[in-house]
Amino acid sequence: DVQLQASGGGLVQAGGSLRLSCSISGSGFSFDDYVIGWFRQAPGQEREVSSCISSSDRSTYYGDSVKGRFTLSTDNAKNTVYLQMNSLKPEDTAAYYCASGRSFLTRRYEDAYDFWGHGTLVTVSS
């Protein structure tokens, strides 16, 4: 199994920044070959993928709503994937989840992710 732990959420004013961390462990996970997605779910809305990273070719994906403001990075020594969120907007308010996926090609589909961490709440005040 794979365990993921998302952290780093909090309350921030519009225009501010936060860095979320996704710590990954478990015998079924390889930091040499992984796909990690960050999803978010705002109150009353469906969960959507905001960003994704693949280790095989260092591919990254960012949704249109976060492109240019969010940046993914990794620290293999710490088995951690980070999501740096800058220029935050009130509409970024959501619970953020990291998940381990099977393929970068299916990054947008929740069903393509096998393991999920608990969410971390991000609240952006106006």
Cα distance between residue 62 and residue 73, in whole Å: 13
Q: What does the alpha-carbon distance between residue 13 and residue 124 come to, in Å, rounded to a whole number? A: 5
- Judged against a pLDDT cut of 90, whether residue 98 lies above it is answered with yes
Residue 73 reports pLDDT greater than 80: yes
The structure tokens listed for 83 are 């999501």
User: What is the tens place of the pLDDT at every residue in 15-57?
Assistant: 999 999 999 998 877 877 889 999 999 999 999 999 999 988 8
Task: Calculate what percentage of the chain has a pLDDT beyond 70.
Answer: 100
pLDDT over 90 percentage in the chain:
84
Concatenated DSSP letters for 94-119? EEEEEEEES-GGGTT-GGGEEEEPBP
The angle subtended at Cα 61 by Cα 24 and Cα 90, nearest 5°, is 85
**What's the pLDDT at 111?**
94
Question: What value does the mean pLDDT take over residues 82-88?
Answer: 98
For 11, 30, 71, 116, 122, the CA distances from 14, given in Å and listed in that order, are 10, 36, 17, 28, 12
